[in-house]
Structure 1
Amino acid sequence: MRETLPDESAVTIDPAAYEALPFSDRCGEIWRRGEHLLIGVSPGNSYFSHRRISELIGWGRELFERIDIVHADLHVEAQFEAFGYTAEHALRRAAKEVKTTARRIARGIEEAGGPDGVRAHALSDFAGHPAYRRLHRRTVDALRTDRVFREAAEGMARGFLAARMDEGLAPNEPQLAAGIRYIAAELPFFLDTPSLLGVPTSVSCYHLQLPLTPVLFGRDEGLRAAAGQGYAVVRPAAPSGPAPAAVMQPARAA
Structure 2
Amino acid sequence: MTETLLSTTFSTFQALPFSDRCHRVWQRGDHLLVGVSPGNSYFSQLRIAQLVRWGRQFFDAVDVVYADLHVDTQYAVNGYPAELALRRAGKEIKATRRRIERGVALAGRGGVGVHALSEFADTAVYRRLCGEVAAALDEDAEFRAAAELMAAGFLASRLPEDETPTADQLAAGLGYIAAELPFFLDTPGLLGVESSVSCYHVELPLTPVLFGRDHGLRAAPGQGYAVLRPRVAPQLASAA
Q: Please say whether Structure 1 and Structure 2 have the same fold, judged by a TM-score greater than 0.5.
A: yes
Which runs of at least 4 in structure 1 moved beyond 2 Å after TM superposition? none
Partner of 1:23: 18
TM-score normalised to structure 2 length: 0.92
Is 2:104 the partner of 1:109?
yes
Given candidates 28, 33, 39, the residue that maps to 2:28 is 33
Closer/same/farther in 2, CA of residues 80 and 206 from structure 1, 3 Å limit? same
Note the alpha carbon deviations across 1:21-56, whole angstroms, 9 max, x for none.
000000000001100000000000000001000000
Q: Shift in Å at residue 62 of structure 1?
A: 0.5
Which residue is 2:39 aligned to? 44
The percentage of counterpart residues that share the same residue type is 62
In the other structure, the counterpart of 2:224 is 230
What corresponds to 2:146 in structure 1? 152
**What is the CA–CA distance in structure 2 between the aligned matches of 1:147 and 1:131, rounded to whole Å?**
24
Distance (Å, rounded) in 2 between the aligned partners of 1:49 and 1:238: 15
For structure 1, list consecutive stretches of 5 or more residues without a partner in the other structure: 1-14, 240-254
1:209 corresponds to: 203
Distance in 1 (alpha carbons) for counterparts of 2:76 and 2:98: 24
Please give the residue correspondences for 1:1-254 in structure 2 after superposition, counting only pairs within 5 Å: 16-114=11-109, 116-237=110-231
Stretches of structure 2 that go unaligned for 5 or more consecutive residues are 1-9, 234-240
1:84 Cα shift? 0.7
Structure 2: which amino acid aligns with 1:23? F
CA shift at 1:238, angstroms? 6.0
Aligned residues: 224
Write the deviation string for residues 198-230 of structure 1: whole angstroms up to 9, x where unpaired. 000000000011000000000011111000000
The residue type paired with residue 69 of structure 2 is: L
2-structure distance, mates of 1:215, 1:184: 14
Find the residue that maps to 1:62 and give its secondary structure. helix
Q: For the residues of structure 2 that align with 1:192 and 1:166, how far apart are their CA atoms? A: 35
SS at match of 2:176: helix
Please give the TM-score of this superposition, normalised by the length of structure 1: 0.87
Q: Given residue 27 of structure 2, which amino acid in structure 1 is its aligned partner?
A: R
**Aligned equivalent of 1:4:** none
Report the aligned-residue RMSD: 0.9
